[in-house]
Amino acid sequence: MTPSEVLQFAKENGARQVDVRFADIPGLQHHISYPIGELSEASFTDGFGIDGSSIRGWAAINESDMLLIPDPSTAFMDPFMETPTLVMIGDVRDPLTRQNYERDPRWIARKAELYLQNTGVGDTAFIGAEAEFFIFDNIRFDQNAHSGFYFIDADEGRWNSSREKDNKGYRPRYKEGYFPVPPTDHYQDLRSEMVNVMERCGLVIECHHHEVATAGQCEIDQRFNTLVKTADNMMTYKYVVRNVANQYGKTVTFMPKPIFGDNGSGMHVHQSIWRDNKPLFAGDGYAGLSQMALYYIGGLLKHARALSAIIAPTTNSYKRLVPGYEAPVNLAYSRRNRSAAVRIPMYSASPKAKRVEFRPPDPSANPYLAFSAMLMAGLDGVLNRIEPGEPLDKDIYDLSPEEMKSVPSMPISLDEALECLEEDHQFLLKGDVFTEELIETFIDYKRRNEAEAIRLRPHPYEFSLYYDI
């Protein structure tokens, strides 16, 4: 929609508030609301003033004034607010220079798209992201000087099979939750309602289903779109999932690994490059790929350890990315084989469906930064003709120790991932997509506020291991 069309849309839907949203560096969405009378066509150029000093990873207090410019193409009516509310995603700008703010994740994603066009490799990057999540009934957690704990409960959790009251017995076994019909799948209706609301917000949904883990692990798949639009859609996807669950008295988490001993939640990311409405990843090479696609895979694999800090950016991510537990930690590529970091889906022979799927990412990632970083790695592979090596079509977990030594792997901790990003990030700086300052800020924030914070605190299991030592 154009600005004038947005104003008409707001009028037709009786909007009384306008809500403008943006994301911080870790990927949490923020918002600010105004009476609808404050929105005019001038708002789409003049913007709204905000204080950026309290946003994680943003400006210091002496440079806190920012402008938030609503993007009319993102407009939809909020399906949850009692007061009719028009929602738009905003771009952040410096009020003095009127330039886009270099730490705005959405601007980084826009620059990644521009860089692709400037390279001449293609004009459009299509991204399809599959974010998994858990639906719980109750969550308790705390950490202080003398105690630390978390407690999860989910009616669908297999551990409730011994419960004495209100027990109907239908629950997915650990690691056996893939595609069961109701009543074992407790959340068919809830997911259907999530899909209904997503479609009202403009998302295009392809399917939904229960995932592998017990305790309400689910997945809802969106139709692929351009890089920035897919990142925008992922923010709306999370917003809808959380709020529909909340309406039903449930709570949702996108933590990669909330449950010990069962599958974690990933965000497999499908990627392809097009030019002039033609797919460039289809060809007569391995698995029907073009040489460009193979080079793209080469870039992903070469930079995967550095990418890990951005696409699996939490300490909890590395409780999912554990060698030997069916996680995609091995830096190899294969058709169909889901134990490889890069998979080439083989569902369709259509050139338009040819794509590569990068499997290490998880939904704790900031989608604007994650999608941009993966595109930059892939483009580095294309521009520098990085060969991906031989495909690995065997079951990785059947390889001998000698064979496994030749297969590199993802980092095993956030600390290691941040070190890898420090050592290998020149590919991200091409075209000024990422800046040195942004990468330094990201690493410093993650190291001080997450990696070191976890390292300083006793873990409950340490008492089991060491209390009587």
What pLDDT does 62 receive? Answer: 58
What pLDDT does 405 receive? Answer: 74
Phi/psi of residue 358, each to 5°? -100, 120
Q: If you average pLDDT over every residue of the chain, what do you get?
A: 94
Contact 200, 75 (CB under 8 A): no
What pLDDT does 324 receive? Answer: 66
What pLDDT does 326 receive? Answer: 64
For strands 356-358 and 267-275, give the pairing. antiparallel
Q: What is the pLDDT of residues 280-319, one digit of tens each?
A: 999 999 999 999 999 999 999 999 999 999 999 999 999 9
What pLDDT does 465 receive? Answer: 95
For the chain, the farthest-separated pair of C-alpha atoms sits apart, in whole angstroms, at 71
Q: Which residues contact 325 (CB under 8 A, 6 or more apart)?
A: none
Tell me how far the alpha carbon of residue 398 is from its chain's centroid: 30
Question: Across residues 396-418, what is the average pLDDT?
Answer: 83
Question: Across residues 122-143, what is the average pLDDT?
Answer: 97
Q: How confident is the model at residue 61 (pLDDT cuts 50, 70, 90)?
A: low
What pLDDT does 323 receive? Answer: 78
What pLDDT does 325 receive? Answer: 63
Peptide bond between residue 183 and the one before it cis (omega within 30 degrees of 0): yes
Q: What is the dihedral of CA 229, 235, 236, 237, to 10 degrees?
A: 100
Q: How confident is the model at residue 59 (pLDDT cuts 50, 70, 90)?
A: low
Q: How confident is the model at residue 63 (pLDDT cuts 50, 70, 90)?
A: low
Q: What is the pLDDT of residues 175-189, one digit of tens each?
A: 999 999 999 999 999
Closest to 371 (Cα-Cα) out of 204, 133, 203, 127:
127
What pLDDT does 54 receive? Answer: 85
Contact 358, 269 (CB under 8 A): yes
pLDDT at 160 over 80: yes
What pLDDT does 427 receive? Answer: 98
Contact 336, 343 (CB under 8 A): yes
User: Among all residues, which ones are annotated catalytic?
Assistant: 51, 130, 132, 211, 219, 268, 338, 357, 359
Closest to 362 (Cα-Cα) out of 238, 223, 222, 268:
268
Rounded Cα gap, residues 144 and 150, in angstroms: 12
Amino acid at 20: V
Helix/strand/coil (H, E, C) string of 197-263? Answer: HHHHCCCCEEEEEECCCCCCEEEEEECCEEHHHHHHHHHHHHHHHHHHHHHCCCEEECCCCCCCCCC
pLDDT at 119 over 90: yes
pLDDT at 261 over 70: yes
Rounded Cα gap, residues 121 and 2, in angstroms: 30
What pLDDT does 57 receive? Answer: 81
pLDDT at 397 over 80: no
What pLDDT does 340 receive? Answer: 86
Q: How confident is the model at residue 51 (pLDDT cuts 50, 70, 90)?
A: confident
What pLDDT does 127 receive? Answer: 98
Q: How confident is the model at residue 65 (pLDDT cuts 50, 70, 90)?
A: confident
pLDDT at 235 over 70: yes
What pLDDT does 357 receive? Answer: 96
Question: Across residues 57-79, what is the average pLDDT?
Answer: 86
Q: How confident is the model at residue 128 (pLDDT cuts 50, 70, 90)?
A: very high
Q: What is the pLDDT of residues 74-118, one digit of tens each?
A: 999 999 999 999 999 999 999 889 999 999 999 999 999 999 999
Helix/strand/coil (H, E, C) string of the chain? Answer: CCHHHHHHHHHHCCCCEEEEEEECCCCCEEEEEEEHHHCCCCHHHHCEEEECCCCCCCCCHHHCEEEEEECHHHCEECCCCCCCEEEEEEEEECCCCCCECCCCHHHHHHHHHHHHHHHCCCCEEEEEEEEEEEEECEEEEEECCCCEEEEEECCCCHHHHHCCCCCCCCCCCCCCCCCCCCCCCCCHHHHHHHHHHHHHCCCCEEEEEECCCCCCEEEEEECCEEHHHHHHHHHHHHHHHHHHHHHCCCEEECCCCCCCCCCCCCEEEEEEEEECCEECCECCCHHHECHHHHHHHHHHHHCHHHHHHHHCCCHHHHHCCCCCCCCCCEEEEEECCCCEEEEECCCCCCHHHCCEEECCCCCCCCHHHHHHHHHHHHHHHHHCCCCCCCCCCCCHHHCCHHHHHCCCECCCCHHHHHHHHHHCCHHHHHHHCCCHHHHHHHHHHHHHHHHHHHHHCCCHHHHHHHCCC
